[in-house]
Structure 1
Amino acid sequence: MTTAAETFVETVLEKVRAGTGSSVSAWLAPGARLFTPRHHKPVTDPNHFAIILQSIPKVLENFRYDRTWAAGDEAIMEFKGNIGAVEVHGLDIFTIDDSGQISELTVFVRPTKAHAALAEREDAMVIETLQKLQRGEAIG
């Protein structure tokens, strides 16, 4: 029997391989929380959460998940990529609810210089996307 977490991992890997991620807001359970080293408090706004999820494969060059583990309602996905010459290595730890949606995501990123480079690129992309939403423009 396939767990919700295993199904979720396969869905994410398929979307990353295909280069599509515009439907990530449908992956979020009501009240989903994102814990990231970028923010002191969890991100709970669904638009902000979705924008961050959509932006990472765009922000990180050569973004890929190298290893995944799934059991019960948890999935851990190891990712790698780079921002210019800076190598980025991290973990996404997902908690998946009974409907197969993300109820919680905790992200770890290393090394420190990767965190700083990611912050700069991610901030620019999130601000640009939020401005488009405020103007009523389509994003994707």
Structure 2
Amino acid sequence: MLAFRAAVEAGDFAALGDLLADDVVFRSPVAFRPYEGRAIVAAILRGVGRVFKDFRYVRELADADGRGSALVFETVVDGVIVHGLDLIRLDEAGRISELTVMVRPLSAANALAKAMAAEFPQIQAEAAATTGETR
């Protein structure tokens, strides 16, 4: 997870696309259905980079097999303090195959949902420009 964590902490959300498996699955804290595929997930992560402020990881937990991590974070979205968790699973090639994000409290989830909804037209355009994927 070092490369993922380092990129996020550096604010280099554009670099995250290279760390994703082609068939990556992203489970959002504010969407019911998961997003699948590198183009849309990379675009979502860039959108997240635009809405998160004062982001920092405060704790990291790793699976015994070395292919999974839980990264606890704190950030601010539209003035609301967000506490969250990135659950990451790597495939055999060391790329991120699953990314699940959870946030709390409810006011934080609501602020994140609103901020990401405003970003979504740009997210869809970025994904479409990459491969035509717009889901």
> When the two structures are superposed, what TM-score results if normalisation uses the length of structure 1?
0.80
Alignment of 1:1-140 (within 5 A): 8=1, 10-71=2-63, 72-131=66-125
Give the whole-Å Cα distance in 2 for the aligned partners of 1:112 and 1:35.
Answer: 17
Give the 3-state SS of the residue equivalent to 1:108 in structure 2: strand
- How has the CA–CA distance of structure 1 residues 77 and 135 changed in structure 2, closer, same or farther, with 3 Å as cutoff? closer
Give the whole-Å Cα distance in 2 for the aligned partners of 1:37 and 1:132.
Answer: 21
Give the whole-Å Cα distance in 2 for the aligned partners of 1:42 and 1:134.
Answer: 18
> When the two structures are superposed, what TM-score results if normalisation uses the length of structure 2?
0.82
Specify every segment of 5 or more residues in structure 2 that has no aligned partner in the other structure, as ranges. 131-135
Kept after mapping to 1: 8 A contact 2:89/2:96: yes
- How has the CA–CA distance of structure 1 residues 132 and 62 changed in structure 2, closer, same or farther, with 3 Å as cutoff? same
Give the whole-Å Cα distance in 2 for the aligned partners of 1:100 and 1:84.
Answer: 34
Specify every segment of 5 or more residues in structure 1 that has no aligned partner in the other structure, as ranges. 1-7
Kept after mapping to 2: 8 A contact 1:65/1:78: yes
Give the whole-Å Cα distance in 2 for the aligned partners of 1:92 and 1:130.
Answer: 22
- Give the letter aligned to residue 107 of structure 2: K
Kept after mapping to 1: 8 A contact 2:83/2:105: yes
* RMSD of equivalent CA atoms: 2.0
Give the 3-state SS of the residue equivalent to 2:87 in structure 1: strand
Give the 3-state SS of the residue equivalent to 2:56 in structure 1: strand
Give the 3-state SS of the residue equivalent to 1:23 in structure 2: helix
Give the whole-Å Cα distance in 2 for the aligned partners of 1:51 and 1:135.
Answer: 10
Give the whole-Å Cα distance in 1 for the aligned partners of 2:116 and 2:103.
Answer: 13
> Which of 123-132 and 26-35 deviates more?
123-132
Q: What percent of counterpart residues are identical?
A: 31
